[in-house]
Every structure is written in C-alpha cells, then in structure tokens.
C-alpha cells in the first residue's frame, strides 16, 4: 500500500488544519521573540517534531498544541511521556545531523488557544521537560 501526498490546501480534517494554523502562529510568535526556525515538522519515520528553533546556542525542540477550549485541560497537558519519548528520539537524530559544538538543547511546548473571532493566545513553556544532554 502506497501513501499519496496530499497538499495542505486539500486537507479536509478540521483538526489537522487547526494544528497547522497553530504551528504557523507559533512560528510567527517565536520569530518575533528573536528565534529562528531551523525546521518545521522534522520527521523520523512516523514521528516528528513540530518546530525546531534556535536563538544563539540554544536549540529548542518544540511541540505545538492548539486548542479551542480548556474543557480537556490545557493544551500542554496533552504532551505525555509517550509523546515526549517520541520527540526525544527525533530530536536526537536532528542533533546528530545538524547540531553544532557548544549548542544547548531543550524541549519546549507552545500552547495556542483559540477563541472564536479573536487572535490566538500563545503561551511558550520553556524547558517543559528534560531529555537531551
């Protein structure tokens, strides 16, 4: 069975579209805070890191969580141990391939909360969990 590439403009799942919009909002926010985006959706097999951002010698592997409400908890609470482990594996491969001597690594979460008709609210949780050396 072969998977067919589907351009984002042809996506129909509202959750996927909301997630992509949240990632774009997170990128704009991070850039406005002085970060440069090294990668968007860096993949290793079926796992990925939403954003990899750099500011000086600090490299952040960032999971972006977008929600419309808080009835299921904060967006960041959805990043459990299993997801953290998957992100850490992908991050380690990126570090080996693209990291620089002297870089410091950490794992962040960017929460994007959307209210109807309002600009998204963004909360950047720095060093959300430990993993890489």
Does 1 map to a domain?
no
Residues contacting 74, CB < 8 A, separation 6+: 67, 111
Residue 80, domain extent = 36-129
Residue 6 forms part of a structural domain: no
Asked if residue 131 lies in contact with residue 89, where contact means CB atoms within 8 angstroms, the answer is no
Count up the domains in the chain and report the number: 1
pTM of the model: 0.87
Write the pLDDT tens digit of every residue in 83-110: 999 999 999 999 999 999 999 999 999 9
At 90, which CATH number? 3.40.1350.10
Segment among 34-38, 55-59, 76-80 with least mean pLDDT: 76-80
């Amino acid at each position: 069975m072969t998977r067919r590439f589907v351009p984002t403009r042809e996506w129909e799942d509202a959750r996927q579209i909301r997630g992509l919009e949240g990632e774009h909002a997170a990128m704009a926010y991070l850039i406005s805070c002085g970060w440069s985006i090294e990668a968007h959706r860096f993949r290793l097999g079926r796992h990925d890191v939403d954003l990899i951002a750099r500011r000086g010698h600090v490299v952040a592997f960032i999971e972006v969580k977008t929600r419309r409400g808080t009835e299921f908890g904060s967006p960041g609470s959805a990043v459990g141990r299993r997801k953290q482990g998957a992100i850490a594996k992908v991050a380690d491969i990126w570090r080996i391939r693209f990291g620089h001597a002297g870089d410091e690594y950490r794992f962040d979460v960017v929460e994007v909360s959307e209210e109807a008709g309002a600009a998204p609210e963004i909360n950047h949780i720095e060093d959300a969990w430990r993993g890489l050396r």
